[in-house]
């Protein structure tokens, strides 16, 4: 599957295209198939996202898992500061990245 991701212009937060908007949770991301480019241009033009790009991901029961480690780090947070990730209460959350 393919996901569309980028950052919020004002806050810089990592965001994922959900089909009708943006979420900071990769679990909410939807497969954009071959239609990613046109969404990307429209959303970037409207400044609802900054520096967007399309990535490969694998569908899993827990939701989409980005194919590249860099995007998994983006999706969760720094592996060396679990307290600053999106799942600070889950000590095993970092295993998802590696």
Partner 1 sequence: MYKYDNYDQAIVDARVAEFRDQVNRRMAGEITEDQFKPLRLMNGLYLQLHAYMLRVAIPYGTLDSRQMRMLAHIARKYDRDYGHFTTRQNIQYNWIKLEECADLLEELASVEMHAIQTSGNCIRNISSDQYAGAAADEVTDPRPWAELLRQWSTFHPEFSYLPRKFKIAVIASPEDRAAMRLHDIGLELVRKDGELGARVFVGGGMGRTPMIAPEINPFVKADDLLSYIEACLRVYNRYGRRDNIYKARIKILVHEIGADEYRRQVAEEFAHVKTLGIDPPLAELERISAFFAAPAFDAADVEPDRSDPDFAVWLDQNVKPHKQAGYAIVNISLKPIGGIPGDASSAQIDVMADLAEKYSFDELRVTHAQNIVLPHVAKRDLYAVWQALRDADLANANLDLISDIIACPGLDYCSLANARSIPIAQKIATRFADAERQRDVGELKLKISGCINACGHHHAGHIGILGVDKKGVENYQLTLGGSGAEDVSIGKITGPGFDEDGIVDAVEKAVEKYRELREGDERFVDTYRRVGMDPFKEAIYG
Which lies closer to partner 1 via its Cβ, residue 42 or residue 69?
Answer: 69
Residue 24: CB minimum distance to partner 1, A: 10
Residue 14: closest CA among 67, 22, 60, 95? 22
- Indicate which single residue of 47, 59, 88, 90 sits in contact with partner 1 (rule: CB under 8 A): 47
Residue 18: CB minimum distance to partner 1, A: 19
Q: Is 11 in the site for partner 1 (CB under 8 A)?
A: yes
Which residues are paired to 15 by β-bridges?
A: 6
Contact 31, 37 (CB under 8 A): no
Q: Is 66 in the site for partner 1 (CB under 8 A)?
A: no
Contact 4, 74 (CB under 8 A): no
- Report how many residues bind partner 1 under the rule CB under 8 A: 23
Residue 32: closest CA among 43, 17, 44? 17
Terminal Cα-to-Cα distance of the chain (whole angstroms): 20
Stretch that binds partner 1, among 15-23, 31-39, 57-65, 79-87 (CB under 8 A): 79-87
Residues near partner 1 (CB under 8 A): 7, 9-14, 44, 47, 50-51, 67-70, 73-74, 77-81, 84
């Amino acid at each position: 599957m393919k996901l569309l991701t980028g950052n919020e212009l004002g806050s810089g937060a990592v965001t994922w295209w959900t089909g009708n908007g943006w979420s900071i949770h990769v679990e909410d991301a939807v497969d954009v198939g071959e239609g990613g480019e046109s969404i990307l241009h429209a959303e970037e033009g409207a400044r609802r996202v900054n520096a967007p790009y399309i990535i490969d991901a694998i569908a899993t029961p827990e939701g989409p898992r980005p194919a590249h480690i860099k995007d998994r780090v983006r999706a969760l947070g720094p592996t060396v500061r679990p307290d600053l990730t999106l799942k600070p209460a889950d000590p095993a959350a970092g295993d998802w990245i590696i």
